[in-house]
Structure 1
């Protein structure tokens, strides 16, 4: 292995100079990656996964440092859960990289082809975006997921993780880079910003011509800053204020199981349900409340819900717009599908919303009427995940309307160009 390939240049005093240097190296790597055969990219990813497995002890030790610091600094239980790695989670990270290596390569894929009346043949083919900047908080798995997706889609990536996971991110990145170099690819294809100075984030956001798109993954404050300051396009993932609507025609057994799973399976993930809406015509609302409380969830309800149980706390106006990422849920009684749609239209973050019902007509009205990136029928919102969608790892859930929406995986990290074949045609 070429040791120089893993060498990070001396840290400049100027964050702009640092990002400019990283961006220039990333652009050069991106040009090479765009032409790299699928088999070579897959081999590099498998080598990176193997390196992560072989360095598991080092990565877990680094994560212990981050966990200790997080506990000392008062991180919430949800944030600590996002941060924590163990053998199973680290194994899943490596498995996800291997899974991406086995996915169809979107680069060069033909989207469509048409022959014009004048004989011109037009085709659209997928090409990489170029250099992707990813700014994220607390979740070290993003380091590996973003690196794998970027590489397989032919993009170079510049990663800037949060201070909460600094040691974990560095250990995972170091292992990933070893795999790339062992497979004959440049470590410049996946770079980690070597400083936690917030000025580096600002420099990334202003790096027109060096970074083609920014993907923020984190809390509302981070995403708001990125959207306000970015001079390059942003693929945003806003709050996961997700709703589960229990219709009057819901099966009671399904309703309880889905409510508990959607909220409590993992409370710190963006697919967790934060608000449950119950049709006033539903026959067994108390069973849902009792099941949530029995699972250790704090329930905050409107007047109708509070009247069901003395264990329900009154909901405030802000609860309907809060992503708890914790064992807390807000619950409201609504007047059927119309009331549910109105509440969701007012309070949803357009991430994931679901309905529980056995009425196909009501389900269809919900699926077509809710304007979110993911809309579900009789399924837990916790399925809002690229892996569960068969996309492999994901770089995030895009909640905007442009370019990509929902789980962003390989295809979401490509754009397209037009290819035109003629036989001497001139335009009259």
Structure 2
């Protein structure tokens, strides 16, 4: 059997599984998710062993440390993944929720209700936790899922999917609702991109290259997730102690993730007081600052920043920095260079906060809080399928409701249109 034929077989099985899964009520889906969580914990040693091979191969290939951190699993991380699965099981089921409804003047009862999308394809890089997050969110929302992770995590993903499918085999949820896309080469991705009619939507998660490629080449509708060039803007009226704490958390708490801060903008009115402290703290944490001429005046350790530095998602201990003369200049910088992911303002001024939140065109905007909170788990979604930076259907962290569509149901009593 060719790889293309094998993919079609897997996709058709997923389509059948989606049909069987869609009408299931909450209880059997929650039971299946808890079975998956228990199975992951029971198989943790086996999963970690498979992951260790992926990590070693990544090191031999010269993969950057930040990407290896995303790839790595240990028992604690596997248990956290399982805990997140249980949290999803505890969340309300969005399927069947009435979005709106009314009784029309002619007596027809009209309802708009949430329904599953169908078969969801996920294309992602590096992080094997996405394999589980994506699968359980799709299952809870009544969808089947086709998973295409990166070849760097192939052994990890294979182990995780096998454990989940074995757990589902003892439940009412069809095991074929969770499948890996066959193959490891570029052609296997192309099969998924061209599966219009079998796959209802694609969600890419990864770097700009992956996302752009999927958006440009897919014949299947795409929900575009974006890279995280996130900003922290320290306003003229900021509490500078708070600003320093937020900056350090946003940049250094976990620099390899998409909601880590990649650019620092400081109002000129507080630059003399704030930047020496901030630059010293960043240097002490091992962060390399790529700054404009005004920032470099405060420290000889600041590396000159080029135009490209302000567009970077570093996912490392690097940050771009610039001094701005106004809030509006900060917003203009963010709109020019940002990725519409998450941007934060630190200020004691309510008018400044309102203007920033109204004019920054991003999926999430933080006021006096770290960018690191833009996350499905932190928002109470249990987990997330990705963070959408587009403006259609879903924007920001995508939880269960974002994995549904709607249908209109109207009920009459022999009504006919005159």
Pairwise CA distance, 1:288: 1.3
Contact preservation (8 Å) 2:182, 2:188? no
CA distance in 1 between counterparts of 2:85 and 2:110 reads: 35
Aligned to 2:241: 253
Aligned to 1:377: 367
Alignment map for 1:108-187 (pairs within 5 Å): 108-187=96-175
Contact preservation (8 Å) 2:234, 2:346? yes
Residues 383-426 of structure 1: per-residue CA shift (max 9 Å, x gap): 11100000011010000011111001100000000011223333
Pairwise CA distance, 1:225: 1.1
Q: Is residue 338 of structure 2 the alignment partner of residue 327 of structure 1?
A: no
Aligned to 2:345: 355
Aligned partner of residue 407 in structure 2, secondary structure: strand
Contact preservation (8 Å) 1:354, 1:381? yes
Consecutive unaligned residues in structure 1, runs of 5 or more: 1-11
Aligned partner of residue 425 in structure 1, secondary structure: coil
Contact preservation (8 Å) 1:354, 1:376? yes
CA distance in 1 between counterparts of 2:30 and 2:389 reads: 29
Pairwise CA distance, 1:89: 1.0
Residues 94-144 of structure 1: per-residue CA shift (max 9 Å, x gap): 001111111000000111111222222211000000000011110000010
Contact preservation (8 Å) 1:255, 1:288? no
Residues 354-397 of structure 1: per-residue CA shift (max 9 Å, x gap): 10111111001111111111111011101111000000110100
CA distance in 1 between counterparts of 2:274 and 2:342 reads: 24
Q: State the TM-score, normalizing by the size of structure 1.
A: 0.96
Instruction: Name which of structure 1's ranges 220-229 and 321-330 shifts more when overlaid on structure 2.
Output: 220-229
CA distance in 2 between counterparts of 1:46 and 1:135 reads: 25
Residues 58-87 of structure 1: per-residue CA shift (max 9 Å, x gap): 000011101100000000011001001112
Alignment map for 1:334-413 (pairs within 5 Å): 334-413=324-403
Aligned partner of residue 58 in structure 1, secondary structure: helix
CA distance in 1 between counterparts of 2:38 and 2:266 reads: 47
CA distance in 2 between counterparts of 1:263 and 1:336 reads: 23
Contact preservation (8 Å) 1:137, 1:218? yes
Aligned to 1:78: 66
Q: State the TM-score, normalizing by the size of structure 2.
A: 0.98
Total equivalences in the alignment: 416
Pairwise CA distance, 1:185: 2.5
Question: Superposition RMSD on alpha carbons, in Å?
Answer: 1.0
CA distance in 1 between counterparts of 2:76 and 2:350 reads: 39
CA distance in 1 between counterparts of 2:170 and 2:11 reads: 23
Aligned to 1:268: 256
Residues 293-335 of structure 1: per-residue CA shift (max 9 Å, x gap): 1111000100110001111111011101111011000000011
Q: 1:280 aligns with which of 248, 268, 273?
A: 268
CA distance in 2 between counterparts of 1:297 and 1:20 reads: 47
CA distance in 1 between counterparts of 2:306 and 2:274 reads: 24
Consecutive unaligned residues in structure 2, runs of 5 or more: none
Pairwise CA distance, 1:207: 0.4
Q: Is residue 283 of structure 2 the alignment partner of residue 293 of structure 1?
A: yes
